[in-house]
Amino acid sequence: MSGSIFPWSSSLEPLASYAVSRNVSLHILAGSVADYAPGAFRATSQDNTHGESTKKQRLIAPILAAIVNAANEGCLGGGGVDGAISQRGGINLAKDRQALPLLPNPSGGPDVRCPTGRAVATGPGDYGRLQVPYVIHAVGPIYNQWRDLAEPNALLQSAYTTSLQVAQANGISEVAFALLSAGVFRGQQTLEEVLSIAIRGVQDFVQQNDEGETVIEEISLVAFSSREQKVLLEVATKLLSPSEESQSEESQTEDSEMASTATNSPSEASEKATYIPAANSPSSEPDEASTGTSGDSEKESAIENGKEL
């Protein structure tokens, strides 16, 4: 999939897309989630009869879109991508975050606006230089607070699925995620596992909700650093791309079904993921051990230099 078909007015770059079900697509993007603009993917599906995009025709109605912020339990702002979103969202976002109700902390201690592993939404609102009316604030685990990684892994997956549940409840059709717990919160957990959990969280939500009326149609994972981009593509290919064996089996099954039901309506699209690589996918790079540079240090360096994450 060429980057030229994505009419971004920002610095986001498409790296790959996957059809994770009949109704839902997952996109891997490079850049800052604060740059996300809705509607780009809806001009790509061509209608066989008229040669026009059926999705594009629906742009007459406003698209409800949200970005998912990597927040802390207080939900009032922080560093990294949270700081970038807070800065761009302006006073209206700050007021809406302040207005989020305080909840009992499941772990004890002071009340929180969002417990770890959960998500809350602000919006709809006019949020300054953000291009979406909703911001969902999801709290991933701080891995250094656990010795056994099973619990924070489950909380991280819950943060992704809960974010999508919140989006669904608000009628949001496009959701773009910052990578949760992928920076300094990752602690001793590997980046590969954190990003694999992100994809499994999306898969879990889609599997549980794809049989009903579709609300969410486009989900994006936005990777900031070059290492995050590289690793996210690797784990997405592993978890979402169908194997050659499964593709062969699907082809044989489809041929058999077409032969026996030639007069029936066209069969539904396969629920196996379809991988569509972008022309500008990042090339392989040295890993952290050989360079001494991690995604976290890239983010910290960017913050020190005044760049938005």
Q: Give the pLDDT confidence of 54-72 residue by residue, as tens digits.
A: 444 444 457 899 999 999 9
Q: Any idea which residues carry the catalytic annotation? A: 82
- What is the pLDDT at residue 98? 98
* Comparison of pLDDT for 106 and 137, the residue scoring more: 137
Is the pLDDT assigned to residue 8 strictly greater than 80?
A: no
Please report, for the chain, the start and end positions of each structural domain, with discontinuous segments joined by +. 3-45+52-243+270-304
- In the chain, pLDDT over 70 holds for what percent of residues? 68
Average pLDDT, the chain: 79
- What is the pLDDT at residue 74? 97
3-class SS string, the chain: CCHHHCCCCCCCEEEEEEECCCCCEEEEEECCHHHCCCCHHHHCCECCCCCCEHHHHHHHCCCCEEEEEECCCCCCCCCHHHHHHHHHHHHHHHHHHHCCCCECCCCCCCCECCCCCCEEEECCCCCCCCCCCEEEEECCCCHHHCCCCHHHHHHHHHHHHHHHHHHHHCCCCEEEEECCCCCHHHCCCCHHHHHHHHHHHHHHHHHHHCCCCCCCCEEEEEECCHHHHHHHHHHHHHHHCCCHHHHHHHHHHHHHHHHHCCCCCCCCCCCCCCEEECCCCCCCCCCHHHHCCCHHHHHHHHHHCCCCC
- What is the pLDDT at residue 4? 32
Class of domain 3-45+52-243+270-304: alpha beta
Question: What average pLDDT does range 160-189 have in this prediction?
Answer: 97
- What is the pLDDT at residue 63? 85
Question: What average pLDDT does range 254-259 have in this prediction?
Answer: 52
Q: Per-residue pLDDT tens for 270-279?
A: 344 555 555 4
Q: Per-residue pLDDT tens for 185-196?
A: 999 999 999 999
- What is the pLDDT at residue 20? 93
